[in-house]
Amino acid sequence: MQPRANHISWDECFMRMARVIAERSKDPSTQAGAVVADRNNVVVGLGYNGFPRGVEAESFTWNREGSFLDTKYAYVCHAEENAVYNANNSTQDCKIYCTLFPCNECAKTLIQNGIREIVFESDKYHDVDAFVASRRLFDAAGVAYRQYISDWAESSLPSAAPITFTQPSV
CB 38 within 8 A of CB 44: yes
Residue 131 lies in a domain: yes
Q: Provide the domain count of the chain.
A: 1
Helix (H, G, I), strand (E, B) or coil at 117: strand
Check residue 167 and give its pLDDT: 45
CA dist., res. 137 & res. 71, Å (int): 26
- Domain with 123 in it: 10-147
pLDDT, tens only, 92-135: 999 999 999 999 999 999 999 999 999 999 999 999 999 999 99
The answer to whether 80 and 48 have CB atoms below 8 angstroms apart is no
Residue 65 lies in a domain: yes
Q: Which residues are annotated as catalytic?
A: 80
Task: Judge whether 33 lies within some domain.
Answer: yes
pLDDT above 70 (res 157): no
Binding-site positions for Zn(2+) read 78, 103, 106
Is 103 a domain residue? yes
Give the pLDDT of residue 152: 87
Residues annotated within the binding site are 78, 103, 106
Q: Does residue 155 form part of some domain?
A: no
**For the domain that residue 119 is a member of, what is the CATH number?**
3.40.140.10
Residue 104 lies in a domain: yes
